[in-house]
């Protein structure tokens, strides 16, 4: 059961020493450090840290923002650690999944994240329904009118024009012409 620390600084001007000091004070025997933006998907020492952790270990970070980029990312991390029997200790925010209160915090964060996703989906459905009720439908406007599609079909059937030439005449892509020809069979 080891305490394993992870620190991350976002820019070259920031220094990881303060995070490392806190992690050492907490008793971390191994510390991994990345100098990269939290938005970047690639954080090599984060990956090494996750590989290093074993069941029964505790991942120690100074703030949630050092490891997670969003609440969703945080809940995914918590689930991943739970599946691997690894605990999480967040020093500055006093979250410790080794305690019932720490686990409750993660359940609350997970519920808030799920609630937020449900609200976004509900608002989207309501907006689409309101637009449909007003006669609008979603998606891009058609590139070709019905008359242009009919003309494209006529040109194609005459065998005097290639798909490329028809597309050029209507200032669209050949794929648009192929779709128009399918629709006017």
Buried b (16+ CB within 10 A) or exposed e, 20-55: bebbeeeebeebbbbebebeeeebebbeebbeebee
Same domain for 150 and 91:
no
Per the annotation, the verdict on 10 as an active-site residue is yes
Residue 14's CATH number: 3.40.50.1390
Residue of 10, 18, 70, 173 marked active site: 10
Low-confidence residues of the chain: pLDDT under 70: 11-14, 37-41, 110, 113
Q: What is the CA radius of gyration of the chain?
A: 28
In sequence order, which residues have a C-beta less than 8 Å from that of residue 26 and are 6 or more positions away?
Answer: 3, 5, 60, 89, 91
pLDDT in tens, 104-151: 887 787 677 678 878 888 998 998 889 889 888 777 888 999 999 999
Same domain for 161 and 90:
no
Same domain for 26 and 90:
yes
Establish if 179 belongs to a structural domain.
Answer: yes
Flag whether the pTM goes above 0.85. Answer: no
Establish if 105 belongs to a structural domain.
Answer: no
* Structural domain that includes position 53: 3-98
Establish if 88 belongs to a structural domain.
Answer: yes
Number of domains in the chain: 2
């Amino acid at each position: 059961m080891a305490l394993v620390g992870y620190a991350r600084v976002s820019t070259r001007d920031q220094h990881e020493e303060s995070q490392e000091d806190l992690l050492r004070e907490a008793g971390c025997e191994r510390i991994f450090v990345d100098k990269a933006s939290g938005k970047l998907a690639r954080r090599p020492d984060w990956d090494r840290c996750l590989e290093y952790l074993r069941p029964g270990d505790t991942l120690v970070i100074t703030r949630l923002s050092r490891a997670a980029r969003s609440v969703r990312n945080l809940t995914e991390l918590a689930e991943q650690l739970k599946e691997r029997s690894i605990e999480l200790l967040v020093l500055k925010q006093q979250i410790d999944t080794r305690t019932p209160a720490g686990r409750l915090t993660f359940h609350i964060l997970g519920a808030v994240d799920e609630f937020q996703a449900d609200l976004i989906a509900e608002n989207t459905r309501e907006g689409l329904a309101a637009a449909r009720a007003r006669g609008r439908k979603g998606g891009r406007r058609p590139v070709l009118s019905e008359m242009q599609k009919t003309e494209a079909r006529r040109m194609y059937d005459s065998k005097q024009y290639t798909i490329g030439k028809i597309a050029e005449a209507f200032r669209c892509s050949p794929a648009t012409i192929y779709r128009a020809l399918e629709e006017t069979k």
